[in-house]
Structure 1
Amino acid sequence: MLHLTSRFVFCALLASVYASCPPRCECSEAAQTVKCVSKDLRSIPTGIPGYTRNLFITGNQISRIGPESFRGLDNVTNLSLSNNRISEMEFHTFSGLLRLRSLDLSNNQLTIIHPEAFSNISQSLRELNLSRALYNYSSVMDLAASLQRISMANLQVLDLSDNSLIYLPSHTFSRMYSLRRLQLSNNSLVAIRSLALSGLESLEELDLTLNALKTFTDEGLQELDSLPRASLLLGKNPFTCTCGIEPFAQWLNRSQDRVRDAEGLLCAFPPSMRNTSILTVGMLTLECQQRDVGADLALQTSYVFLGIVLGFIGLIFLLVLYLNRKGIKKRVYDMRDACREVWEGYHYRFEIDSDPRLSQVSTSADA
């Protein structure tokens, strides 16, 4: 009887420990889910059950996360930490989440990202959401350094939208060999630089809508062409339809099967071209070339005319000097003689002032 009682107590204690739930959180063993939503938490709560596969800690006041935050949570596959005001991710922050497949860090204020923050989950992770999560330029560079340092060979979805990105550092995605979807919408990208999209041969979708792209340079078009399998979204950018837009317009006409919103791409500037389809701008190529040739010819003509005028003025000046050579020579001699007299007088006076005896003689003579 005593043996049965002890076994019962042990099982009860074990069950209570296994089914424990952190304060201010909701736990469901059946769904293997724990939710700590908008509970004003200041740190990741302890005592999260080991059965947890889906962990939602959102809408709190957590400023930093580190390697101690997720210890003992080997079964977690989906982790949402959105809208927590997280500003710092430390070394090996997710080291205890060896099975993590989806990580949502959106709507935070990341300013410090350790280069090794994602290292322990780099092989298991499939989706990473950093939308509206990067607070400043230093966090962008920290993230780029982290992504360049570790190999996220199995990552398939990366969301970097709404981060005010101005440009993409080279080789940022070069170690994401399996990435299929890259979200860069609603940033401030002004250009796509060389090697900014290197390593994304498996990419199937690239979203560049709602940025500050006025056109695409040759290197930007080459970067887009380096993504042979990707469908592209380029809408709602302030395209400037001046003569520099023709290479992009020609490329767009050739790549309509890849650009899903090609027919909706419109000129924003100048006002005379506003709402004109960029697909039709290619017809301006000949006019721009003619205008450029005419401008170059006019500029060359003006330079030649200016050279002739300056040469003529120089000849006149030399002729005037030649005709007045005797007068000029006399003036030069007169100036030389005048300077010599002044110098001799100054030299004589200096000798008198420097010799006390001569000074006395000169004084007596004056008396």
Structure 2
Amino acid sequence: MLRVAQRVLLCALLGSVSASCPPRCECSEPAHTVKCVSRELRSVPTGIPGYTRNLFITGNQISRIGPESFKGLDNVTTLSLSNNRISEVESHTFAGLRSLRSLDLSNNQLAVIHPEAFTVHNQSLRELNLSRALYNHSSVMDLATSLRWSSLGSLRGLDLSDNSLIYLPSRIFSHLTSLRWLQLSNNSLVAIHNSTFLGLEHLEELDLTLNALRTVPEEGLRELDSLPGTALLLGENPYMCKCGIEPFALWLNRSQGRIRDAEALVCAFPVSMRNTSMLSVGTLTLGCNQRNAGADLALQTSYVFLGIVLGFVGLIFLFVLYLNRKGIKKRVYDMRDACREVWEGYHYRFEIDSGPRLSQVSTSADM
């Protein structure tokens, strides 16, 4: 009878444990883990055990999440919501996750990100993964606002790779003062502008590989120099090795110590320079000085030739004037006499109109 009672008690305990696990999810109390993977869920399931520290809800059909989605989960430290087709994240969605340190929203379709979408009490969040998560370019502005308003002062890592980003709004990371690594690889960034990385004084690694950088102008170089303690990754960009890239090439040689893939940086265009090491690109390789000197010489020659032509035309003009000096003098005298006659006629008419008696005489004479 004792063994039967023990078995009944064990079955009851197992039943209570299984009952505490949401439908279509797998729960492990010893591992403090709950997994709801590829179950075609349309919302975050309810009844997730309070012991949960690692929560994986991935590969489902969830379209939006809000503050009601994660109530009572104070112990969750790792939350993965990847590949769920999430399009909207409301403000304070994760505010109840007081212990949250890692949040994965990769492989979603975020079109609407509310201003305080990533706010977590106690600023416990350390890692935020938004790789392949942004739906379109307009959501970048929503993201910039959310990073500014979500109190992420303790965030250490941010992954924005694979989002087809063409540009980054100014000061987008200015409130992430504790950020240590920033992943921007596999986007379409064409330039680095002033104030893009403002506020990232503690950044340790910046990954800009696989973008659309053809060069980095002086403004971008100053921006990268504002991060002296940051290790940089700049490989696999389509660098255009033509005249004008010399400042970037010189900067690369000067900054080799903190560019981890400096030896692998090569030219992509033009074809004649393809696969040439960026570290070897300079004025001698491109021949820019020689071209500039030749252009200056050609410009100076053209100016001299133009001066000679204008001087010759001027001499011809003066010679023509000299040959026609008598005719020109006669025409000037004729014009002077004509002007004098006209002036005397106007003067005579004015004297008649101004004298009443002369005016009467003139009128009677006309009659």
Flag whether TM exceeds 0.5 (same fold): yes
Instruction: Give the match for residue 43 of structure 1.
Output: 43
1:43 alignment partner AA: S
Instruction: Give the match for residue 219 of structure 1.
Output: 219
Task: Count the aligned residue pairs.
Answer: 316
d(CA) in 1 for partners of 2:135, 2:248: 32
SS, match of residue 125 in structure 1: coil
d(CA) in 2 for partners of 1:49, 1:207: 38
d(CA) in 1 for partners of 2:108, 2:247: 39
d(CA) in 1 for partners of 2:150, 2:313: 69
- Runs of 4+ in structure 1 off by over 6 angstroms are 310-323
Kindly report the root-mean-square deviation, in angstroms, between the aligned alpha carbons of the 2 structures: 2.8
d(CA) in 1 for partners of 2:241, 2:122: 43
Check the 8 A contact 2:62/2:85 in 1, yes or no: yes
2:275 alignment partner AA: N
d(CA) in 1 for partners of 2:164, 2:316: 63
SS, match of residue 161 in structure 1: coil
Check the 8 A contact 1:122/1:150 in 2, yes or no: no
d(CA) in 2 for partners of 1:285, 1:214: 18
Structure 1 unpaired stretches of 5+: 1-8, 330-367
Structure 2 unpaired stretches of 5+: 1-8, 332-367
1:270 alignment partner AA: P
1:242-284 per-residue CA deviation (whole Å, 9 max, x = no partner) reads 1111111111111111111111111111111111111111353
Instruction: Give the match for residue 6 of structure 1.
Output: none
d(CA) in 1 for partners of 2:171, 2:319: 66
Q: Does 1:237 align with 2:237?
A: yes
SS, match of residue 163 in structure 1: coil
d(CA) in 2 for partners of 1:110, 1:315: 76
Check the 8 A contact 2:242/2:286 in 1, yes or no: no
SS, match of residue 128 in structure 1: strand
Instruction: Give the match for residue 136 of structure 1.
Output: 136
SS, match of residue 148 in structure 2: helix
1:46 alignment partner AA: T
Instruction: Give the match for residue 53 of structure 1.
Output: 53
1:147-186 per-residue CA deviation (whole Å, 9 max, x = no partner) reads 1234422111111100011112111111112111111110
Check the 8 A contact 1:246/1:284 in 2, yes or no: no
d(CA) in 2 for partners of 1:205, 1:187: 17
1:123 alignment partner AA: Q
Q: Does 1:176 align with 2:191?
A: no
Instruction: Give the match for residue 115 of structure 2.
Output: 115
d(CA) in 1 for partners of 2:134, 2:126: 20
1:263 alignment partner AA: E
How far 1:298 moved relative to its partner?
2.5
Identify which range, 219-228 or 116-125, moves more after superposition: 116-125
- The equivalences for 1:63-212 within 5 A come to 63-121=63-121, 123-212=123-212
- The equivalences for 1:264-283 within 5 A come to 264-283=264-283
Check the 8 A contact 2:98/2:122 in 1, yes or no: no
Check the 8 A contact 2:243/2:286 in 1, yes or no: no
SS, match of residue 206 in structure 1: strand
Check the 8 A contact 1:122/1:153 in 2, yes or no: no
The TM-score, its normalising length taken from structure 1, stands at 0.78
The TM-score, its normalising length taken from structure 2, stands at 0.78
1:244 alignment partner AA: G
